[in-house]
Amino acid sequence: MQETRHRGRARVTAGAAGLALALAAVGIVGAGVAPAAAQAAPDQVVNGSFDDGLAGWTNYPSPSLVDGQACIDVPAGSGPYSAAISQQSIPVIAGESYELTFTASATPATGVVRAVIQGGPEVNYAQAMPEQQLQLTPEPQTFTFVFTDNVELPLGGELAIQQNLANDTAYRLCVDDVSLIGGVEPPVYEPDTGPRVRVNQMGYLPDGPKGATLVTEATEPVPWELRDGGGQVVATGTTEPQGVDPSAGLNVATIDFGDVSAPGDGYTLVADGETSHPFDISADLYDRLRTDAKTFYYTNRSGIEISDALAPGYGRPAGHVGVPPNQGDTAVPCQDLDDDSQQLYDEPWTCEGTRDVSGGWYDAGDHGKYVVNAGISVSQLMAELERTKTAPTSDGAALADGTLAIPEAGNGVPDILDEARWELEWMLRMQVPDGEQYAGMANHKVADVDWTGIPLLPSDDPQRRVLYRPSTAATLNLAAAAAQGARLFASYDPAFAGELLAAAERSYAAAEAEPGLYAPAPDPALDPNPGSGPYDDDDVSDEFYWAAAELYLTTGQRAYEADVLASPHHDGDVFAPGGFDWGDVAALGRLDLATVPNDLPGRRTVRKSVLAAADAYLADQAAQPFGQAYAPEDGDYVWGSNSQILNNMVVLGTAYDISGDPAYLDGVVRSVDYVLGRNALNISYVTGWGDVAAENQHSRWYAAAVDPSLPHPPAGTVAGGPNSTAVATGDPVAIANLQGCVAQFCYIDDIGSWSTNEITINWNAPLSWVASFLADQGSGAAIEAPECTVTYDRHGWRRGGFGAQVRVRNTADETVSGWTLEWAFVAGQTVERATRATTEQEGATVTAGNHRSNATIRPGRSVSFGIFGDSPAGFANPAPELFRLNGEPCVTAGR
C-alpha cells in the first residue's frame, strides 16, 4: 500500500477543461460547468485584468501584452515548469473556500499546461488548489475552479498557469481576467449510486450462491422478482431485512436467488420499485478475467516497448531506457549524500558508480519500482501457477504457454511464468554486487527524485532516477520470491533456476547479517520521499518467516526448516480479519507450506490453521449484507481495502483446495460479488467489468480522464477501493469530497484520488489468483468425491537420482479399462524411465500410461509401476500430492 506515497510535492490532477464529470468528481468546476455563486468578497489577485500591464505578475519567458492579455511564447522542447504566467504571495487561508476564474488560450492548441495555487519550497510546494490540467485551444476558454484550501501557506501561495510537460511544438500561452474570490460554497459531492438493488454486475455461476442487496427504507420483507433477458419473471421471493449496515450507513435487506441455475444473459432483479443492473448466469463467467487481470502486468512493464498489436490501445515506447527526455534505469546512481532523505538514515549512505536496474514492472500510478511490493506481487502470480500442481479443480492448460498476449508466448514456458520472470530479473538487478557495502542485500527501490505530473508516459519522464539504500525487508522479499521462482523455473530453465536459488540464499544470509536495516519512515518536515513512497517497515520477522519457508520448500534444507519452526509466526495467527498485504507477509509462507508438497514436521497443523482462518472469514462474511469476507476489527476500511478482501478470498480458496468443503468455495463466490458491484456505491471496482465500473484510476499514463489520447487502465485492473483514512492522508480529491464518509463510501473514481483509486501490482495479483480460481470452478458446483487413491513411495536410486513406486487403487464401483496417470513435479524433477508403465514429460508435467499387463483396474484393486528420475542438485524432492487418473483427481495417500 502507499500510505505516504504522495505526501509532499505530489502533483496530481483532478480533471481537465471540458471534462465536466472528472471536474465535478473532485469538487472543482471547470469550463462549461456552472460555477458556485461567489459571495461578495475582495479579489485576492492583483491586476487580474492586466489593465496595469504586467504589474504584479511574474511571467517567463518572453512576457508581453497582446490585446490586453498576458502572453508568453514557449519554445519547443521546454521542460516542465520552465514557463509560466504567475503571481506570488496570494493570501489564501487554510480552511477557506475559493473560486478561481480565468480565461486562457494556446496557439497552436496544447495540453501541456496546468493551473495551480501552491506554496514555495518552505512547504515543499504544497498545493492549496490541486493542479488542473488544461486542454487549451486558440479560442479563449473561461475556466472556473472551486476549491477549499487545506494547507497552511505562511508566505502565501503562488498562482501559476504553467508549462507542465515537455512540449514538442512551440506555442503562445495567453491569460486574461484572472480572479480569486473567497467565501464561496464548494460544490457538494454526491455519488451516483444508481439503482438500489445491488448485484454482481457481471453475473453468477449456475450452481453457485446468488445474492443481492437492496438499499431500502423498509424494515419489513418486501417482494422481489427475477426477470430474464426477455423481461419474463422466472423467480420470486421476499427480501430478508438486515437493518443498518455499519460499513455503509445504509438500511439494507438481502435477496437470495440461489435456486435459479438456468444460464442466460441480461437477468435483472426488481424490488421496492427498483431494477438492478443487468447480469448473466454463466459457467464461463470468469474465463476472460483470468486473462484480463494479467494483461495489466504486460502494459505495466518498464524497459520494453509495449506492442499495440499485443495490447491494442496500450502501445507505447519503452520507458526508462535513457532515450531523452527520459534519463533511464540502465545507469542509475545511488542517492546523493546531500539528499534530504539521508537525514533519516542512522548514518549517511551512498555507493560508487551506477547500476543497471532496468526492466521490471512499474509499481503503481507513478514510475517507481519497489522491491518490497514486487515480492508479494510476483509471488502471488507464481502461486497461481503453482496451484495447478496441487489443487484438484485447477486447470493447468488455462495458464500454459500461449494463453497470454505477451512477447514471450510460444517459447514453451507457461506465459504467467514468463511474466513473472520479467519482474524476477529486475529484482536480481536490485541485489547489491559483491565488493560493495551491504553486498547481497537488495536496494529498497529505484524512483524519480521528485514527483511528476499527470499525464506522463514513462518514456517522457524527465526526472533523475536514484537507487535507495538497501533494506532488510527488500532483501527478504528477494530471497522469498527468488526461492519460489527457482523451483518453478527448474523444469523449464535450469540455469535461471540456479541463478535464482543462489540469489535467494545469498539474500537470506545478507539479511541475517543485517537484520535491522529498515527503510526510514517519512518525516513531513524533511519530505524524505519525493517522487516515491517509503514502504517503511520496522518489523521484518514476517519477512524472515516467509523467506525461510520458501527456501525450505525449494531446498528441503534442515537449516531453513529450523528457522521456519522457530519463527513466532509459525504457531501464531497470521490471518488477521483485515487480511494481509506487502507489510504483513507471514500468510504467504503459511499458505505455501500448507499447499506446496513438503516434509515439514507438523504439516497437518499448518493445513488446519488455513481452514481455521477460512472459518473465521466465513463467520465475518455471514454478518456482511453486501457479502464481502472482510470485517476489520475497528470497522475502518484500510488503504487498498479491495486487495485485502481479495487476499481473504485467496485464503478461502486455498481452504477449498485443501478440504473440498463447498462452504469455502461459496465464500469466494459471494465475496467477489462485492468487488464487481454488490457494494454501497454500486460500482464494479474492476475496469471493464460491469455496466458501471471504475475507469479513472490514479495513473500517469492510463490517463484518459485528463488526456483523451491516452487510454483508461486496461480491462481487469482493480482499484484500491474505499479507504476510511483517505481524508487524513492529504489526498486533495478525498479532502474535497469525502469528508465524514462512512467506510464503503470513502471512495471516488477520480484520477486524482491516489488514496482510494490508485492501481498497484500487489492489488492486481490476488485478483489474478481469484479469477483463476473462479474460472476453474466451471458452474460452481462442488467437486465429487474422488474414485481413486494414489500412493507415491520415494526411495533412493543413485547419487543425484531417485526412484519411486506408484500405486493406483480403484475405489469406484466400475472397472477402469486403460488408464493414464498425470502429476506435476514441483522442483524440477525429471523421469528418465519407468517399469510397467509408459511415461512422457512436458515441463513439470508427467503422464504415465498403462502397460499391457496392468491396463485393467477392477473395483477395490490396485496396479503399480515404478519410475526412476533425476532431481536437480540443491533442490528438494518432495512427493507429488495431486494425481489425476484419466483426468479425474485422486486421493493422495498420506496427504
- Residues designated catalytic: 366, 698, 749, 758
Polymer length of the chain:
895
- From the number of C-beta atoms within 10 Å of its C-beta (0-12, 13-18, 19+), residue 815 rates as exposed
Look at residue 731 and give its three-state secondary structure.
Answer: coil
**How are beta strands 197-198 and 211-215 bridged, if at all?**
antiparallel
Nearest to 245 by CA among 637, 753, 578: 637
- Here the cell at position 28 is 472543482
- Helices 287-299 and 415-429, packing angle to 10 deg: 30
- Here the cell at position 354 is 551506477
**666 vs 235, 782, 799, CA distance in Å?**
21, 9, 47
**How are beta strands 223-227 and 264-271 bridged, if at all?**
antiparallel
Would residue 64 be called left, alpha or beta, if left means φ above 0 and alpha means ψ between -120 and 50 degrees? beta
- Residues in CB range of 831: below 8 A, 6 or more apart: 839, 841, 846, 867, 868, 869
DSSP letter, residue 318: P
- From the number of C-beta atoms within 10 Å of its C-beta (0-12, 13-18, 19+), residue 236 rates as exposed
Whether residue 470 has a cis bond before it, omega within 30° of 0: no
In order, the DSSP letters of 600-654 are: -TTHHHHHHHHHHHHHHHHHHHHT-TT--S---TTSPPPTTHHHHHHHHHHHHHH
| CA gap 742, 702 in Å, rounded | 29
Name beta bridge partners: 264.
281
Q: Which amino acid is at 540?
A: V
Tell me if 257 sits within 8 A of 235, measured CB to CB: yes
Start-end of H helices in 514-573: 541-555, 558-566
Nearest to 415 by CA among 428, 427, 404: 404
CB atoms within 10 A of CB 148: 18
Q: Which amino acid is at 641?
A: S
| CA gap 816, 849 in Å, rounded | 13
In order, the DSSP letters of 814-836 are: S-EES-EEEEE-SS--EEEEEES
- Residues in CB range of 779: below 8 A, 6 or more apart: 205, 206, 207, 208, 261, 283
Greatest alpha-carbon span in the chain: 104
- Helices 472-489 and 541-555, packing angle to 10 deg: 20
- Helices 287-299 and 761-776, packing angle to 10 deg: 160
